[in-house]
Structure 1
């Protein structure tokens, strides 16, 4: 694989019919997996939202997923947000869809496409994403949260956030420690300029179902505790972003409200 930013036009807006059909088929397969997992878990159909993870995918590919029914996308890198935002905004408007911050400001939530940042955010990149992204899922500490809140207030808005929790304890993964999550969530929920919408985690990188599910179950317990605490700003802490291509069924069984899926929709990535 090679560095994609130098070798792929992320603002490309035209893809072939065959590629568009491949992506549409991917969306359908994932939607069917989610529906089956909901049914197996005894959950209401539609209780889990599909977020299409769009790292290295160009505007045309992302729009093919949106045309197939995806209503939430997630980028890993701020530079990809800025590279694709204008094209996505224009093509969404052509379809009478509001994207990201435009969707938040829209009167009709049914005509909106959520635009999330799901990868790490450095404070010097906040201004790059602020005009477009409606939710940052990777907030793992109060310094970043305070800077996000300050910039959002200065821009006259509020940024949705998820608190990322490292449930697996793996050093390579981001997120706050589980034993710090409650106090941190209460601190973030009380900040003006951001809205704590829920929690996010990446499942343990193991083959043991019990270990993977225990992390998801613990995150659900944290979410419930925060949401029901009565602390200021915690009543909006409802989302559980957990589950990806390889473990989404486990996540849905443990209460996930959003699964983040890329490869199963778009196919293997050709770039880093």
Structure 2
């Protein structure tokens, strides 16, 4: 088990009004930044979704963010997904919301998508599939095939994003950019999966042109996949790119999902 999970009760549902206010203010600041960036980039209002990155945050903190207007959450670690799922699903239901992969057939309630945004080990796939609806960290055929087999066995469809290492940094996961189109077409053809888009993490450099170039290349790759009209690729519309530090650049280059944690919740007590 991850060390900080020995020290923090991630299933805790109770937070102070002061903490809830801090989170609400953080959500509103980030949403305002997104809307301003959309406007300045000449994009339609609402074309960019905020994903709250909830690593190390407990159920009470996450629900405060949802109450403040967050409508997509993402976890880095499968262990955290499993620790928080029951409380999150129950509290969302109390608010008339469906969370993630909850069976909501015929429901007219709004759904809060639940993404896995961190690396996924094969032995955790079966444990998270009843909970998350999208896995953003699919970086190759082997993992995609493993997820597809589990999905078919459960008679469900799992959304996936193909992770592309646009920066070329060894510390980052993802397929090579030159392989992305072929991999996307192969993944899109798999039963049990729906290829919903591409994901990348911006280059960790102090150079706007380099960061922007990676985002722009991912957008062109996405556009090429859609233009191919290969069966199964028609849903490959999402571009998950951009975090707090490079969010504006990502939005200018076409991001549809930006992932923000610290700007909403504050600095982590545990890592």
TM-score, structure 1 normalization: 0.97
Gaps of 5+ in 1: none
Q: Distance in 2 between matches of 1:91 and 1:230?
A: 41
Q: Which residue of structure 2 lines up, in the alignment, with residue 141 of structure 1?
A: 140
Q: Which residue of structure 2 lines up, in the alignment, with residue 95 of structure 1?
A: 95
1:83 aligned to 2:83?
yes
Q: Which residue of structure 1 lines up, in the alignment, with residue 197 of structure 2?
A: 198
Structure 1 counterpart SS, 2:259: strand
Structure 2 counterpart SS, 1:247: helix
Structure 2 counterpart SS, 1:148: helix
Q: Distance in 1 between matches of 2:25 and 2:153?
A: 42
Matches within 5 A, 1:40-79: 40-79=40-79
1:221 aligned to 2:220?
yes
Matches within 5 A, 1:177-188: 177-188=176-187
Asked if the contact 1:103/1:111 (under 8 Å) is kept, the reply is no
Q: Is 148-157 or 52-61 further displaced after alignment?
A: 148-157
Q: Distance in 1 between matches of 2:204 and 2:229?
A: 34
Q: Distance in 2 between matches of 1:106 and 1:115?
A: 19
Runs of 4+ aligned residues of structure 1 deviating over 2 Å after TM superposition are: 103-108
1:24 aligned to 2:24?
yes
Asked if the contact 1:103/1:114 (under 8 Å) is kept, the reply is no
Asked if the contact 1:53/1:260 (under 8 Å) is kept, the reply is yes
Q: Distance in 2 between matches of 1:266 and 1:175?
A: 27
Shift of 1:257: 0.2
1:80-135 deviation digits (Å, cap 9, x = unpaired): 00000000001001101000012764543x61100000000011100110110000
Q: Distance in 1 between matches of 2:106 and 2:83?
A: 23
Question: How many residue pairs align between the two structures?
Answer: 270
Asked if the contact 1:196/1:234 (under 8 Å) is kept, the reply is yes
Q: Distance in 2 between matches of 1:106 and 1:169?
A: 44
Q: Which residue of structure 1 lines up, in the alignment, with residue 258 of structure 2?
A: 259
Q: Distance in 2 between matches of 1:222 and 1:107?
A: 35
Shift of 1:230: 1.1
Asked if the contact 1:98/1:106 (under 8 Å) is kept, the reply is no
Q: Using a 3 Å threshold, how does the CA distance of structure 1 residues 51 and 106 change in structure 2: closer, same or farther?
A: farther
Gaps of 5+ in 2: none
Structure 1 counterpart SS, 2:74: strand
Q: Distance in 1 between matches of 2:34 and 2:72?
A: 15
1:14-57 deviation digits (Å, cap 9, x = unpaired): 00000000000000000000001001100011000000000000
Q: Which residue of structure 2 lines up, in the alignment, with residue 33 of structure 1?
A: 33
Q: Distance in 1 between matches of 2:104 and 2:184?
A: 23
Q: Distance in 2 between matches of 1:203 and 1:49?
A: 17
1:153-212 deviation digits (Å, cap 9, x = unpaired): 111100000000000000000000000101100100110100000000000001110000
Q: Distance in 2 between matches of 1:52 and 1:105?
A: 25
Shift of 1:3: 3.1
